C-alpha cells in the first residue's frame, strides 16, 4: 500500500478551498447589514452578549458570527468587546454619506441566481432575483434603487459632476434615471440646470423622497413610463444615460442613443456613464470581466460589459461627434458626444 503520509502535500489546494468558501464572506456581510450590527457598534465597544440582546439573537451564534466579522476585518475586538473597524465605520453605518450597505444587499439579492450558474450558462438565460424566490419584487426594487443611490452618494456623483462642464446647459433628460441620484447631483452642482428623470414606476417611488429631501422639487420632474413608449418632451441640451447600457442588448442601447439624438437640441451633449472598459488596468479588467457575467445572470441575455470605444462608435453611428472617453477614479467610466450644432 502507498504510504500517504510521505507524499508531498500540495498547498495550492487551499486556493481551491478558499474559492469554494468565498460565498461565506458575502453571507456574513449580508447578515451583518440585515441584522444592523454595524449601527449598534458605531462608536462603542460591546460584548457579544450585549450585541446578542441588542439585535435579539442567539448568544452562542452571535459570538461566533462576531468573531467571523473580526476575521473579515469588518469589526475589531479587544478584551472580549467588539466595535466597528474603520472600513465599516466609513461605508457600512446607515445614514453616513459613504454608506453602501444597500448596494451590498442588491448584489447579494442575486444569490440564488448565482447558485444556479451551471444551468444559466448551459441554457443562456437570465434568472431575475425575484423569480428565484430569494427576494420579493418590492425588496428587489428598493435594494436595487437605494443601492444605486449609495453608489452615487459614496463618490460616483461627485466625480461625474467634476468631469462635466454643464455651465451653458439648461435642460437635462436623465433616461433610466432610477433614484434620480445623478440629476440631483448635477442640478445641485449647476444652479441654472433643470432635469427630467424618465423611468418606471418602482424606481421613481424611490426617487420622489430623495428629490424632496434635496429641495430640488421645483427643478427636477419625474416622468413615469417606458422610455421607448412615453412622450419625453423636447428642448433638451443634455441627455444622461447612466447604468443602462450595461444591462441592455446592443440594439436597445443604439435605439436609446437615436432617441436621445432626436430629442436633443443641436449642439446638445450626450453623457453615457457605466461600467465600460476604458482604462485597461488589471484590477478594472478583473471587475469588468465579472460584471459581464453578472449582467447576463441577473439582467438580460443580451446585456454586457462593453468597450468604451465600442459605445463611442455606436454614438457616432447615430450622428454624435467629438466623442470622448473619460476614465474616472471610480469603477464607472464616462463617454460623451455632441449633436452637431
Ligand X SMILES: C[S@@+](CC[C@H](N)C(=O)[O-])C[C@H]1O[C@@H](n2cnc3c(N)ncnc32)[C@H](O)[C@@H]1O
Q: Which residues bind ligand X (CB under 6 A)?
A: 148, 152, 176-178, 181-182, 199-200, 203, 226-228, 242-244, 247
Beta carbon of residue 87, minimum distance to ligand X (angstroms, whole number):
23
Give the whole-angstrom CA distance, residue 106 versus residue 139. 9
SS3 48: helix
Nearer to ligand X, 54 or 301 (CB): 301
Nearer to ligand X, 66 or 149 (CB): 149
Give the whole-angstrom CA distance, residue 302 versus residue 315. 19
Q: Which residues contact 87 (CB under 8 A, 6 or more apart)?
A: 73, 74
Nearer to ligand X, 109 or 181 (CB): 181
Answer for the pair 180, 267: CB distance below 8 angstroms, yes or no.
Answer: no
Q: Which helix (H) or strand (E) holds 325?
A: strand 321-326
Beta carbon of residue 334, minimum distance to ligand X (angstroms, whole number):
12
Nearer to ligand X, 174 or 318 (CB): 174
Give the whole-angstrom CA distance, residue 144 versus residue 147. 5
Beta carbon of residue 320, minimum distance to ligand X (angstroms, whole number):
19
Would you state the cell numbers that stand for residue 41, as one nine-digit string? Answer: 457598534
Beta carbon of residue 29, minimum distance to ligand X (angstroms, whole number):
21
Beta carbon of residue 225, minimum distance to ligand X (angstroms, whole number):
7
Rounded to 5°, the CA angle 234-237-240 comes to: 95
Beta carbon of residue 204, minimum distance to ligand X (angstroms, whole number):
9
Residue whose C-beta lies closest to ligand X: 178
Nearer to ligand X, 38 or 333 (CB): 333
Nearer to ligand X, 51 or 271 (CB): 271
SS (H, E, C) 278-297: CCCCHHHHHHHHHHHHHHHH
Amino acid at each position: 500500500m502507498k504510504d500517504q503520509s510521505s507524499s508531498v502535500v500540495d498547498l495550492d489546494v487551499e486556493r481551491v478551498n478558499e474559492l469554494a468558501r468565498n460565498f461565506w464572506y458575502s453571507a456574513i456581510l449580508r447578515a451583518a447589514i440585515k441584522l444592523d450590527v454595524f449601527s449598534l457598534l458605531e462608536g462603542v465597544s460591546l460584548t457579544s452578549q450585549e450585541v446578542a440582546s441588542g439585535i435579539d439573537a442567539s448568544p452562542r451564534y452571535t459570538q461566533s458570527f462576531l468573531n467571523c466579522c473580526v476575521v473579515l476585518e469588518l469589526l475589531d475586538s479587544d478584551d472580549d468587546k467588539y466595535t466597528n473597524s474603520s472600513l465599516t465605520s466609513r461605508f457600512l453605518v446607515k445614514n453616513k454619506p459613504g454608506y453602501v450597505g444597500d448596494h451590498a444587499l442588491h448584489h447579494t439579492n442575486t444569490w440564488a441566481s448565482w447558485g444556479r450558474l451551471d444551468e444559466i450558462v448551459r441554457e443562456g438565460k437570465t434568472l431575475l432575483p425575484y423569480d428565484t424566490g430569494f427576494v420579493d419584487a418590492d425588496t428587489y426594487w428598493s435594494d436595487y434603487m437605494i443601492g444605486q443611490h449609495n453608489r452615487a452618494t459614496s463618490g460616483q456623483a461627485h466625480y461625474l459632476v467634476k468631469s462635466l462642464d454643464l455651465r451653458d446647459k439648461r435642460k437635462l433628460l436623465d433616461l433610466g434615471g432610477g433614484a434620480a441620484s445623478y440629476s440631483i447631483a448635477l442640478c445641485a452642482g449647476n444652479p441654472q440646470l433643470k432635469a427630467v428623470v424618465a423611468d418606471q414606476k418602482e424606481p421613481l417611488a424611490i426617487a420622489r423622497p430623495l428629490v424632496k429631501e434635496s429641495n430640488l422639487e421645483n427643478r427636477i420632474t419625474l416622468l413615469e413610463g417606458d422610455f421607448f413608449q412615453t412622450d419625453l418632451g423636447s428642448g433638451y441640451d443634455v441627455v444622461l444615460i447612466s447604468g443602462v447600457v450595461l444591462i441592455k442588448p446592443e440594439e436597445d442601447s443604439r435605439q436609446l442613443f437615436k432617441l436621445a439624438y432626436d430629442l436633443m437640441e443641436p449642439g446638445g451633449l450626450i453623457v453615457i456613464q457605466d461600467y465600460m472598459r476604458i482604462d485597461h488596468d488589471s484590477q478594472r479588467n478583473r471587475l469588468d470581466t465579472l460584471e459581464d457575467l453578472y449582467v447576463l445572470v441577473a439582467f438580460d441575455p443580451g446585456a454586457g460589459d462593453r468597450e468604451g470605444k465600442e459605445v463611442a462608435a455606436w454614438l457616432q453611428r447615430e450622428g454624435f461627434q467629438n466623442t470622448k472617453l473619460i476614465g474616472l477614479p471610480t469603477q464607472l467610466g464616462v463617454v460623451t458626444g455632441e449633436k452637431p450644432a
